[in-house]
């Protein structure tokens, strides 16, 4: 099960509807360590859009601190906004 923090009222001000669509797509595919191993071309194919649009969405999500990227195709979703597993484990990941 994936949990997404919907209490962030500033979400709409920081990312577009398409950025949110990409974020939710990534959340559905993340591992228990909040990691996604897909490159932008693979994401574009899955969402049936051109790769530059994915690139812009990933950049916006990274700048808004919803995710981080490392290397080719490794994306980590911020535990502040989404997590997979028990709520107690998310508190540990966030440092609460």
Cα separation of 95 and 57, whole Å? 28
> What is the crossing angle of helices 40-47 and 51-63, to 10°?
110
74-77 vs 67-70, strand pairing mode: antiparallel
Q: Who has greater pLDDT, 17 or 7?
A: 17
> Tell me: the pLDDT tens digits for 33-57?
899 999 999 999 999 999 999 999 9
> Tell me: the pLDDT tens digits for 57-92?
999 999 999 999 988 889 999 888 888 765 545 455
Q: What is the pTM for the complete model shown?
A: 0.76
């Amino acid at each position: 099960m994936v949990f997404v923090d919907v209490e962030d009222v500033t979400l709409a001000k920081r990312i577009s509807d398409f950025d949110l669509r990409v974020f939710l797509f990534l959340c559905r595919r993340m591992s228990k360590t909040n990691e996604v191993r897909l490159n932008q071309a693979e994401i574009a194919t899955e969402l049936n859009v051109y790769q530059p649009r994915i690139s812009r969405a990933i950049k916006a999500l990274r700048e808004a601190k919803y995710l981080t990227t490392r290397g080719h195709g490794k994306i980590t979703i911020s535990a502040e906004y989404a997590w997979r597993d028990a709520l107690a484990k998310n508190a540990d990941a966030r440092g609460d």
